[in-house]
Amino acid sequence: LVVTLCFKRKKERKEKMSRAFSQVQHNSFLDIYSDPPNDHEWLRANKIVCTIGPKTQDVESLKSLMKVGLAVVRNNFSHGTYEYHEKTIANARQAAKEL
């Protein structure tokens, strides 16, 4: 019974959110007691910008960051070589393709 109610509640919330005409209306349908939708049909009010360094440059790290909300990959051209930044850009494009 509890599982059925939770499923019904998620379905109702998803239907409401799909009818949202603005970010404010979408936000009014949010429920802090439910898991967020995982189908990318919902609106994101902000973007997460990450400056990529040596620890997060590989494709797997970038994919894991993208899964949790990374929207913009930033390079700091004050540090590193052009080859390093070229590899970072190539890895970010590959990670985005694989998701």
CA 92/CA 66 separation, integer angstroms: 9
Q: Tokens 């390079």 appear where?
A: 75
CA 75/CA 42 separation, integer angstroms: 28
CA 82/CA 99 separation, integer angstroms: 26
- Using N-to-C axis directions, what is the helix angle for 82-98 and 59-67, rounded to 10°? 50
Q: What pLDDT, on the 0 to 100 scale, is given for residue 47?
A: 79
**What is the chain's Cα-based Rg?**
18
pLDDT above 90 covers a percentage of the chain that reads 31
Q: What pLDDT, on the 0 to 100 scale, is given for residue 59?
A: 94
Q: What pLDDT, on the 0 to 100 scale, is given for residue 70?
A: 86
For the chain, give the mean pLDDT. 78
Residue 1, pLDDT above cutoff 50: no
Hey, CA dihedral for 47, 31, 41, 58, is it positive or negative?
A: positive
Q: What pLDDT, on the 0 to 100 scale, is given for residue 90?
A: 95
Q: What pLDDT, on the 0 to 100 scale, is given for residue 11?
A: 65
